[in-house]
């Protein structure tokens, strides 16, 4: 029997950075996001004998681990090792074969690393019939990635991948509240039609950018704190604009949020990204932002419907790669193949 899972990647519209401790624990944060039809996939099959074989289909890597001592964190498949170590008491020496695949590389700004952890946890939950709620699944994914492995970042990606759909997610110290948004189909389809997603041509290590932002906050840098406070307020305003169908306001707030994001840390942007963004604005884009912590990955733009094709042509001319996508309503899903 083969067990499979998939968890959706996400687009964060506003509030990114306010979900990162210690800001989120001391001042509270909020994020507006949605999931899209790009996924992290996992497959699990029981096999005879002992040991675990991991197939990373994206990197054409096959790794075999026989005993727990093999699962040393060495920079190779550490996210996978951390999940297996956490589940080791349930595995009880059984032989496993695990296959992993992601529609976006790490550093893309779509939450791919966290989503992969969620997909892998989903496999074990399904196989072992673990009584974990959605909140517990997201919290466990967060603790494995951020606490166990010490990878810098926030809380939003894990909750987006588990819950799916449009959510306004609030962070109050250790408490996370996921508020699903009831958006009318007309608003949903119009926003999807007006958004453009462009790959900037490179990925980046987000943890270094996040570490700089955290250091700025901890050192009391006023501009960083003010920018994070403003990002939080913009997230609330964007949620209200979205629910009321004021999509031009939504696009303008994307631009305002991007200006704030650039104030939180150096290297959030670079000359190539600035060139793409400024060209899109000259062609008529109402606003946009770089997804994730910054530095590379995917650029999201809100475009007038009759200018979107012109903006796409200009971005492609400048070296960007426009990528089709659609919104995804569902979160983590698992199933069996017999």
The percentage of residues in the chain with a pLDDT greater than 70, rounded to a whole number, is 97
For residue 68, is pLDDT > 80?
Answer: no
For residue 202, is pLDDT > 80?
Answer: no
The pLDDT score that the predictor gives to residue 167 is: 98
Q: Which of 5-14, 151-160, 199-208, 323-332 has the lowest mean pLDDT?
A: 199-208
* Residue 313 banded pLDDT, cuts 50, 70, 90: very high
Q: What is the chain's Cα-based Rg?
A: 20
Mean pLDDT of 131-140: 98
The CATH architecture of the domain made up of 185-327 is 2-Layer Sandwich (3.30)
The conformational region for residue 199 under phi > 0 = left, psi -120 to 50 = alpha, else beta, is beta
The pLDDT score that the predictor gives to residue 205 is: 63
- Tell me the per-residue pLDDT of 21-56, one tens digit each, with 9 for 90 and over: 999 999 999 999 999 999 999 999 998 888 899 999
8 A C-beta contact, residue 55 and residue 100: yes
Write down the catalytic residue from 19, 103, 139, 157: 157
- Tell me the per-residue pLDDT of 298-312, one tens digit each, with 9 for 90 and over: 999 999 999 999 999
The pLDDT score that the predictor gives to residue 106 is: 80
Tell me how far CA of residue 223 lies from CA of 27, 230, 261, 263, 323, in angstroms. Answer: 15, 10, 11, 7, 34
For residue 232, is pLDDT > 90?
Answer: yes
The pLDDT score that the predictor gives to residue 174 is: 84
Number of Cβ within a 10 Å radius of residue 37: 13
CA-to-CA distance for 87 and 124, rounded, in angstroms? 8
HSE-CB for 75 with a 13 A CA cutoff: 0
Q: Is 157 a catalytic residue?
A: yes
For residue 293, is pLDDT > 70?
Answer: no
Mean pLDDT of 248-261: 96
Mean pLDDT of 256-264: 93
Please count the residues of the chain.
338
Question: Strand, coil or helix: what is 33?
Answer: strand
CA-to-CA distance for 107 and 206, rounded, in angstroms? 6
For residue 204, is pLDDT > 70?
Answer: no
The pLDDT score that the predictor gives to residue 332 is: 98
Instruction: Report the CATH fold assignment for 2-182.
Output: Ribosomal Protein S5; domain 2 (3.30.230)
| pLDDT winner (highest mean) among 84-93, 195-204, 256-265, 321-330 | 321-330
* Residue 207 banded pLDDT, cuts 50, 70, 90: low
For residue 203, is pLDDT > 70?
Answer: no
- Tell me the per-residue pLDDT of 86-104, one tens digit each, with 9 for 90 and over: 998 788 778 999 999 999 8
For the chain, the structural domain boundaries read 2-182, 185-327
Torsion angle of C-alpha atoms 81, 86, 88, 90, degrees rounded to 10: -140
Q: Which residues contact 150 (CB under 8 A, 6 or more apart)?
A: none
Nearest to 11 by CA among 233, 247, 302: 302
The pLDDT score that the predictor gives to residue 46 is: 93
Q: What share of the chain is helix, strand, coil (3-state, %, to 5)?
A: 40, 25, 30
For residue 145, is pLDDT > 90?
Answer: yes
Mean pLDDT of 193-213: 84
First to last CA, the chain: 5
The pLDDT score that the predictor gives to residue 108 is: 85
Strands 95-102, 287-290: parallel, antiparallel or unpaired by DSSP? unpaired
8 A C-beta contact, residue 79 and residue 35: no
Residue with the larger pLDDT of the pair 68 and 335: 335
- Tell me the per-residue pLDDT of 164-182, one tens digit each, with 9 for 90 and over: 999 999 999 889 999 999 9
CA-to-CA distance for 255 and 301, rounded, in angstroms? 9
């Amino acid at each position: 029997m083969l067990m499979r899972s998939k968890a959706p990647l996400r687009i964060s519209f506003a509030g990114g950075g306010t979900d990162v401790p210690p800001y989120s624990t001391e001042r509270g944060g909020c994020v507006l996001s949605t999931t899209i039809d790009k996924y992290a996939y996992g497959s699990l099959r029981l096999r005879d004998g002992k040991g675990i074989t991991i197939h990373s289909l994206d990197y054409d890597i096959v790794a075999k681990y026989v005993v727990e001592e093999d699962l040393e964190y060495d920079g190779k498949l550490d996210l996978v090792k951390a999940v297996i170590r956490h589940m080791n008491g349930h595995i009880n020496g059984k032989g496993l074969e695990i296959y992993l695949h992601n529609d976006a590389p790490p550093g893309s700004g779509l939450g791919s690393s966290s989503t992969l952890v969620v997909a892998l946890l989903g496999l074990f939950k399904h196989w072992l019939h673990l009584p974990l709620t959605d909140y517990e699944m997201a919290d466990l994914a967060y603790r494995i990635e951020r606490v166990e492995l010490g990878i810098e970042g926030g809380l939003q990606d894990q909750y987006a991948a588990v819950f799916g759909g449009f959510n306004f997610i609030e962070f109050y110290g250790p408490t996370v509240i996921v508020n699903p948004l009831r958006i009318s189909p007309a608003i949903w389809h119009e926003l999807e039609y007006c958004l453009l997603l462009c790959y900037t041509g490179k990925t980046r290590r987000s943890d270094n950018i996040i570490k700089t932002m955290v250091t700025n906050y901890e050192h009391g840098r006023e501009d960083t704190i003010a920018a994070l406070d403003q990002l939080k307020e913009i997230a609330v305003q964007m949620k209200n604009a979205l629910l009321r169908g004021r999509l031009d306001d939504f696009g303008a707030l994307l631009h305002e949020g991007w200006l704030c994001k650039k104030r939180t840390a150096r290297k959030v942007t670079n000359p190539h990204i600035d060139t793409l963004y400024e060209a899109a604005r000259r062609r008529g884009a109402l606003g946009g932002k770089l997804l994730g912590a910054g530095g590379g990955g995917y650029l999201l733009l809100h475009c007038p419907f009759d200018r979107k094709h012109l903006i796409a042509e200009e971005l492609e001319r400048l070296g960007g790669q426009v990528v089709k996508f659609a919104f995804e309503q569902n979160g983590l899903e698992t199933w069996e193949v017999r």
